[in-house]
A and B are shown apart, each in its own frame.
Chain A
């Protein structure tokens, strides 16, 4: 009964989305009384129906209703209850339902945005466009990926959840990432709605907060995924340039550019066309990401749930939304208000860095799809992996980081004549501080030193408004989002540089009471044994870590074999503080009481995740605290 109800509510949501779209679009050509209220109500209805749908699917999971195909494929009775919740979005159908649910929630929030009520046309059309996007995905769900489909005969036991996904971070990683992806639909809708209606730069003011919010979720989702991969995938890597990771990185680059471009569009009325294109691109890349993940067109560790036919449908949606947005843009977009810009004005520098961010996204895109294109052209299979990306990303990123610091000191409109004078002391300060690193960690290479300098430069220039205002928090509150954003980025770059250059990885065979040395740290295997988990059998080791004979910590890495899968899962043993991570994973039994062990020393690794947290904090302050402040300041 419950799955059928779910089905009914899914159709009801589809009907509401259709009304939401039709109502809005029909008011474009003629004036319909009360149309605003109609669109508002249908938006609320759609969200309400989707929440019920999602609740019903969750209920089926909690009841272990294996007559539902999706439940039987992604859960079983032994699955701990928290993971039954997470299993709702552990597969293709459920994650798409989550996708539209999140879209509906964003749309609902947009319809409650009080400031937008002053522009009723823009408001109605953006809600209508969001309704159309939702409609597309709801048809997709009902047509190819219905989570409520029944299964006959009813199996006694379900297949269980992919063991990789049985982890607390999985409970929040996909929803966070999706919130970011899908949230980019809001600036997209506002941009296209603006083209269709008022056709000026007023949308930028409203799109800014929404862009920042989705950017925060995207940042958090990517960082969470990286952290999860680090401790769960078992070999201590934190970024693999896997196609699916790239799929989330591309919209992140463009969303970051959009966020900054909107500042110029809002404050100066410039680059309106560029901002619109960025909004369209950011959402298109989100759709592309959804396509890459869901179609299985790429060989990737993430393609658990994939089907080429479904991929084709998403590709069609992508082509439709991007294509029609670009057509509308080319017809409607008026020529930019032209103004001669000074090369070192804030406008110029922001534009320049946004262009670098677009180039970064472009490079990641090329590297990700290049093997696909060659394969389609029958030119053979190649791999494009970390060595390529780590190299090419430096081309846009080194100039980007150089100009970030300069941009902080620039002013609107004019060439700040003294910009060099202001920048020089900080440049020398970061050069001096940067020299400390080779002293602490030893010499590595020139590119390492450049990375450290750029990280420090970004952080110190980021913090400079605080110094300029005699450390008055009140006076600097308006700069706080920028400061935290740049400091966070600097921290992340520092973490990446130091960890990659000075980290040590060591594979060793160990037996009981034997030690292995990595850097200054001594790892001693004290115990090895087996234990039973709720739905797995684990081989665990106990490893004592000492430094210069001083006891630090004992960690317990495990290797688990889950009942539902024959593949072994590694649970790493990690001892971490702000300055370094020590990582141990259990390898193979090589006989004679010896085990191969994977040992790592990773200095400043944590900064890679603390950086994004600081960046997100900046966004949070902008959206909820300093917005009003900024308005009075301007």
Chain B
């Protein structure tokens, strides 16, 4: 325990920049799930969690900073949306043009249930 403390103090002294970057456990979880929902815009089809591109690194840093600043997930998503457009979010926002997309499960299940009824008789 004490050794750990000394160790972290040592780390703090050596790389204060790095150490200041660390998040607590709860925020780590939020960070990990958030970066998986954000698309790397210069890659083919990768989230910023997966990509090694410079942009992805910047976005990861940005998201981490905003979490540290106490921003909520939706604040951060809104920021990214406003700045980079809706393409950046893997979860499309509900709007007029994504209406059919989001209602697809219900519509499809109803449609197929009708089909089932028709064949079944």
Interfacial chain B residues near A384, Cβ < 8 Å: 90, 92, 101
Digit string of A222-253 for contact with B (CB within 8 Å is 1, else 0)?
Answer: 00000000000111010010110000000000
Asked whether any CB of chain B lies closer than 8 Å to the CB of A380, the reply is: yes
The B interface, classified by DSSP as helix, strand, loop or mixed, is helix
Q: Which of A299, A348, A392 contacts B44 (CB 8 A)?
A: A299
A355 near B101 with CB under 8 A, answer no
Give the size category of A's interface with B.
Answer: 35 or more
Digit string of B41-69 for contact with A (CB within 8 Å is 1, else 0)?
Answer: 00111110110100001000000000000
B116 near A355 with CB under 8 A, answer yes
A336 near B92 with CB under 8 A, answer no
Digit string of B75-114 for contact with A (CB within 8 Å is 1, else 0)?
Answer: 0000000000111111110000110110011101100110
Asked whether any CB of chain A lies closer than 8 Å to the CB of B24, the reply is: no
In the bound complex, what is the Cα–Cα distance between A383 and B46 (angstroms)? 11
B112 near A382 with CB under 8 A, answer no
A396 near B121 with CB under 8 A, answer no
Interface hub of B14, B86, B98 (most chain A Cβ within 10 A): B98
A383 near B88 with CB under 8 A, answer yes
Task: For the complex formed, measure the closest distance between the CB of B115 and the CB atoms of chain A, giving whole angstroms.
Answer: 6
Q: Nearest residue in A to B86 (C-beta to C-beta)?
A: A382
In the bound complex, what is the Cα–Cα distance between A338 and B117 (angstroms)? 12
In the bound complex, what is the Cα–Cα distance between A592 and B90 (angstroms)? 35
Q: Which of A271, A340, A382, A594 contacts B119 (CB 8 A)?
A: A271
Q: Nearest residue in B to A274 (C-beta to C-beta)?
A: B119
Give the size category of B's interface with A.
Answer: 35 or more
Task: For the complex formed, measure the closest distance between the CB of A143 and the CB atoms of chain B, giving whole angstroms.
Answer: 28
Digit string of A333-369 for contact with B (CB within 8 Å is 1, else 0)?
Answer: 0001010110000001001100110110011001100
Asked whether any CB of chain B lies closer than 8 Å to the CB of A542, the reply is: no
A233-B50, A338-B121 known; A380-B86 Cβ under 8 A: yes
Asked whether any CB of chain A lies closer than 8 Å to the CB of B32, the reply is: yes
Task: For the complex formed, measure the closest distance between the CB of B70 and the CB atoms of chain A, giving whole angstroms.
Answer: 20
A303-B44, A336-B119, A506-B28 known; A383-B90 Cβ under 8 A: yes
Digit string of B31-44 for contact with A (CB within 8 Å is 1, else 0)?
Answer: 01000110100011
Q: Which of A235, A299, A348, A383 contacts B120 (CB 8 A)?
A: A348
Task: For the complex formed, measure the closest distance between the CB of A591 and the CB atoms of chain B, giving whole angstroms.
Answer: 8
Asked whether any CB of chain B lies closer than 8 Å to the CB of A381, the reply is: yes
Q: Which of B88, B106, B119, B120 contacts A395 (CB 8 A)?
A: B106
Q: Which of A418-444 contact B (CB under 8 A)?
A: none
B109 near A385 with CB under 8 A, answer no
Asked whether any CB of chain A lies closer than 8 Å to the CB of B18, the reply is: yes
Q: Which of A374-390 contact B (CB under 8 A)?
A: 374, 379-388
A383 near B87 with CB under 8 A, answer yes
Task: For the complex formed, measure the closest distance between the CB of B47 and the CB atoms of chain A, giving whole angstroms.
Answer: 7
B44 near A300 with CB under 8 A, answer yes
Q: Which of A271, A386, A588 contacts B36 (CB 8 A)?
A: A386
Q: Nearest residue in A to B44 (C-beta to C-beta)?
A: A301
Q: Nearest residue in A to B87 (C-beta to C-beta)?
A: A381
In the bound complex, what is the Cα–Cα distance between A258 and B98 (angstroms)? 31
In the bound complex, what is the Cα–Cα distance between A314 and B43 (angstroms)? 26
Task: For the complex formed, measure the closest distance between the CB of B81 and the CB atoms of chain A, giving whole angstroms.
Answer: 11
Q: Which of A235, A341, A567 contacts B49 (CB 8 A)?
A: A235
B91 near A387 with CB under 8 A, answer yes
Q: Which of A235, A351, A507 contacts B116 (CB 8 A)?
A: A351
Asked whether any CB of chain B lies closer than 8 Å to the CB of A109, the reply is: no
Interfacial chain B residues near A385, Cβ < 8 Å: 37, 39, 47, 90-91
B104 near A240 with CB under 8 A, answer no
Interfacial chain A residues near B87, Cβ < 8 Å: 380-383
Q: Which of A70-112 contact B (CB under 8 A)?
A: none
In the bound complex, what is the Cα–Cα distance between A166 and B98 (angstroms)? 39
A348-B120, A385-B37, A388-B90 known; A590-B97 Cβ under 8 A: no
Asked whether any CB of chain B lies closer than 8 Å to the CB of A505, the reply is: yes
Q: Nearest residue in B to A379 (C-beta to C-beta)?
A: B97
Q: Which of A235, A363, A505, A588 contacts B108 (CB 8 A)?
A: A363
Q: Nearest residue in B to A377 (C-beta to C-beta)?
A: B97
Digit string of A266-293 for contact with B (CB within 8 Å is 1, else 0)?
Answer: 0000010110000000000000000000
Q: Nearest residue in B to A241 (C-beta to C-beta)?
A: B90
Interfacial chain B residues near A505, Cβ < 8 Å: 32
A383 near B105 with CB under 8 A, answer no
In the bound complex, what is the Cα–Cα distance between A395 and B115 (angstroms)? 17
B39 near A383 with CB under 8 A, answer yes
In the bound complex, what is the Cα–Cα distance between A509 and B113 (angstroms)? 53
In the bound complex, what is the Cα–Cα distance between A119 and B28 (angstroms)? 64
B112 near A359 with CB under 8 A, answer yes
Task: For the complex formed, measure the closest distance between the CB of A162 and the CB atoms of chain B, giving whole angstroms.
Answer: 12
Interfacial chain A residues near B120, Cβ < 8 Å: 341, 348, 351
Q: Which of B28, B89, B112, B119 contacts A383 (CB 8 A)?
A: B89
In the bound complex, what is the Cα–Cα distance between A5 and B2 (angstroms)? 75
Interfacial chain B residues near A579, Cβ < 8 Å: none
A299-B44, A505-B32 known; A367-B119 Cβ under 8 A: no
Q: Which of B15, B28, B43, B101 contacts A367 (CB 8 A)?
A: B101
Interfacial chain B residues near A506, Cβ < 8 Å: 28, 32
B37 near A387 with CB under 8 A, answer yes
Interfacial chain A residues near B44, Cβ < 8 Å: 299-301, 303
Contacts A/B (CB < 8 Å), 7 sampled: A352-B116, A358-B112, A380-B85, A381-B87, A396-B105, A514-B7, A588-B52
8 more A-B residue pairs beyond the given contacts A355-B116, A381-B85, A384-B92, with a C-beta to C-beta distance below 8 A:
A271-B119, A299-B45, A362-B112, A363-B104, A380-B97, A386-B37, A505-B32, A592-B14
